[in-house]
Homo-oligomer: A and B are copies of this chain.
Amino acid sequence: MRELGVGLIGTGFMGKAHALAYGAVRAVFGDVPALRLEVLCDTPAAKARTMATQFGFARATDNWRDLVDDPRVDVVSITAPNNLHHEIALAAARAGKHIYCEKPLALTLDQATEMEQVAAEAGIKTIVGYNYVKNPAFMHAQSLVGAGAIGDIVHFRGWVDEDYQANPDQPWTWRARISEAGLGALGDLGCHLVSMAVGLVGPVESLIADMQTVHKSRSLADGSGQAPVENEDIATTLVRFVGGVRGSLCASRVAWGRKNRLNWELHGSTGMICFDQERMNELRLYQNTGPLAQQGFKTILTSPEHPPYGSFCPAPGHQLGVNDLKVIELAGFLRHIAGGAPVHPDFSDALEIEKIVHAIAESAQSDARVYV
């Protein structure tokens, strides 16, 4: 496998997560291409330089176009603010770079659709950072479903809750403005839940939704008054999947005490599987097998029995962390670039996820069923 040159745009929450993944992926897995950390981009330039040193990148820039055009860069990581994803991705695709883009693809469906088309035309490889579907516990759930461990799927319920906008006294930020942030709880959190729902049940047929903006305005940080919160704090959806499964999806960014409660229940005809990201190393499984007196929900701790956990740790129950999920995501992408099996969600899969998220918003506004 030939070496790959990496360019990383952004050094925030996800920028650092990408940097850590690039630093760890080969030591963890062995079977991935060697990497050269070529260019780091952030603004201002001084920050880019500092972080390049910290993250181990060879060069720094404050101009993402230079990074995208750099011939030594093969893979571009896009962790810039969401409203820049579209422009950067188009340029990178057209420059023939493989793209590792953070979710969501874009603020609007039109932009996301264009990104998917341009990437397809360019023939580049893509992946989008829905990293929770890379959790060995999640993939074990998928394999249990595939093996019929809970029979036919009949119902899905999911929630994704955080409390980062719960405090009414927090000042107004760009997150509240649609032109900068796009959707609210749906765009930040709901799309992760949708990625898991689709990964377990398959495509969505139609839905009906309701939304709330709990804190309708917030104080400006400079004390000059109040500004409106334009997007939703909470969204709740009745969903029908293709094939007949039904269920519900809830997302909230104002749920006090919830820090990353991305959890779901998968109801089958012979059992149930439950998961909660706040206990990301556990899967709960109920099966209608054996004597009734001994039936109960089983708490399965992730272990080397659940690949690729064992690449991180040979001992069961020792716990992966959230940054490890990025390493798994990246490893698959690098293997795919090197000729291995396709990985998901790519731009095309991500577009389907985001169509659902936008359909939720549309239904909530129209108070009517929307077909996806």
Contacts and interface: CB of A to CB of B under 8 A. Distances in A.
A200 to B, nearest CB: 16
Interface centre among A256, A305, A306, A313 (most CB of B within 10 A): A256
A214 interface: yes
Copies of this protein, total: 4
B294 A297 contact: no
Interface in A32-55: 50, 54-55
B214 A154 contact: yes
A56 interface: yes
A210 B296 contact: no
Contacts of A320: 319, 321-322
A164 B315 contact: yes
A248 B246 contact: no
Decide if the interface of chain A is mainly helix, strand, loop or mixed.
Answer: mixed
Interface residues of A, number: 99
Contacts of A16: 27
Interface stretch (A76-84, A93-101, A267-275): A267-275
Given A272-B257, A294-B285, A154 B212 contact: yes
A238 B236 contact: yes
Contacts of A324: 321, 323
Interface of A: 12-13, 16-17, 19-20, 23-24, 26-28, 30, 50, 54-56, 140, 144, 149-150, 154-155, 157, 159, 162, 164, 166-168, 208-210, 212, 214, 234, 236-238, 240, 246-248, 250, 252, 254-261, 265, 267-272, 277-281, 283, 285-288, 291-301, 303, 305-306, 312-324, 367-369
